[in-house]
Structure 1
């Protein structure tokens, strides 16, 4: 009996061991199958994102501290040219020899379509452009001998460089209708130029366009002569002079003084004006 019981117990233990081994095998095999399930790719998770740790330098904290490039400095605004014609105001003096500066400025205004319709700084003023160059046209209304009051105030207010102040006036020492462009000089006995030089602190360093009106005939007094009006023939001759004066001013502003002076002062140009 004892022997039979021992045999049954051994058989039971063997069955239990066999069962544990099979269960462990099943569990291990199942685990293996789950562990070998293929991974899903990023395209299978469209709402999932991963921060790229290799982002470009533009997105790094270090580069965010770098200042943006400075904008290029803009050039200062271009100062206008001031073109001043000398004369006396009022109908009494219209078309007189002393007012040929006014007449030249009026011709420039008409050719360049600049309206002279503002009164300021004791002058009639017009603002516009010749080509791309800003210009101011001025006809002082102070009477000739006090022209500097107006010119000095305009130059001071707008801070115009003297090399960009062109004064147009009559000259007794030039033959009638002849032009002469100079970079600087004295007043030559012209009271309007004397006044301007005084108001510009004695400076002579500004260009001037002289228009010849000839000498008085016989023993006529110079003052009476300059206040005489041009006759019809003289006015016709001046039309050609004004055309050349307009072209000279254009060359001066757009190409420089030297080219303009060559154009005005050359023998060929003088002969053409004759």
Structure 2
């Protein structure tokens, strides 16, 4: 059994914010497979379903980002899954907006939601799928304000592209495995976007 957990904040004002990219991905997977999550108080929304011939638990912690680990711990007590079968989906300010990256394990970096998950799991050896949210226009001085403020126009469209790619990658993990999925999505689908972003950054630095 697989467990896909998307991180975010539950209040409506955060629905289109970069920090809710994980929530958006779970919602996209649910939309594709006509799945409705059920609430478990203020801890989490989840649903066990069958996707691509695999049993999958889809979940969104309702504990707010910084306490995401509480919901993950609750899921673990309910379903007794191996952490190697858990995929945590979340935003990453260090990746270009709309890109995605998949890793089998790693640290939390600066992400407090992932820090909470790792603390409650007692390990960082579990897969994660990161959706890039870095501001494509300018450097972001007030990061907290940027990640919590809803995006609009082309910026939101670009974020949505990343969400869709993440949902496709999650499904491919079910159909194939994480290694094959990493080879496709980490290398091919993001290469052009990353090249463009690096070119923009280089040009901007020359002009500063």
**Which TM-score band applies after superposition, normalised by the shorter structure?**
0.7 to 0.9
Contact 2:5 2:87 in 1 (8 A): yes
**Are 1:209 and 2:129 matched, yes or no?**
yes
Structure 1 residue 179, shift from structure 2 partner: 0.2
Q: 2 CA distance for matches of 1:240 and 1:234?
A: 10
Structure 1 residue 121, shift from structure 2 partner: 7.7
RMSD: 1.8
Structure 1 residue 102, shift from structure 2 partner: 0.4
Contact 1:248 1:260 in 2 (8 A): yes
Using structure 2 for the length normalisation, give the TM-score: 0.86
SS at match of 1:95: coil
2:117 equivalent among 196, 209, 220: 196
Equivalence for 1:102 = 23
1:155 equivalent among 39, 64, 76: 76
Equivalence for 2:144 = 223
2:67 equivalent among 123, 146, 155: 146
Gaps of 5+ in 2: 197-208
SS at match of 1:261: helix
Deviation track 1:210-269 (CA, whole Å, cap 9, x = no partner) reads 000004944621111111111121222233323322221122122111111011101x31
SS at match of 1:83: strand
Equivalence for 2:4 = 83
Judged with a 3 Å threshold, the aligned counterparts in structure 2 of structure 1 residues 272 and 108 are, in CA distance, closer, same or farther, namely: farther
Equivalence for 2:53 = 132
Judged with a 3 Å threshold, the aligned counterparts in structure 2 of structure 1 residues 255 and 198 are, in CA distance, closer, same or farther, namely: same
Gaps of 5+ in 1: 1-79
Q: 2 CA distance for matches of 1:272 and 1:129?
A: 34
SS at match of 2:57: strand
SS at match of 1:213: strand
Judged with a 3 Å threshold, the aligned counterparts in structure 2 of structure 1 residues 119 and 272 are, in CA distance, closer, same or farther, namely: farther
Kindly tell me the number of residue pairs found equivalent between the two proteins: 193
Structure 1 residue 170, shift from structure 2 partner: 0.5
- The structure with the largest strand share of the pair is 2
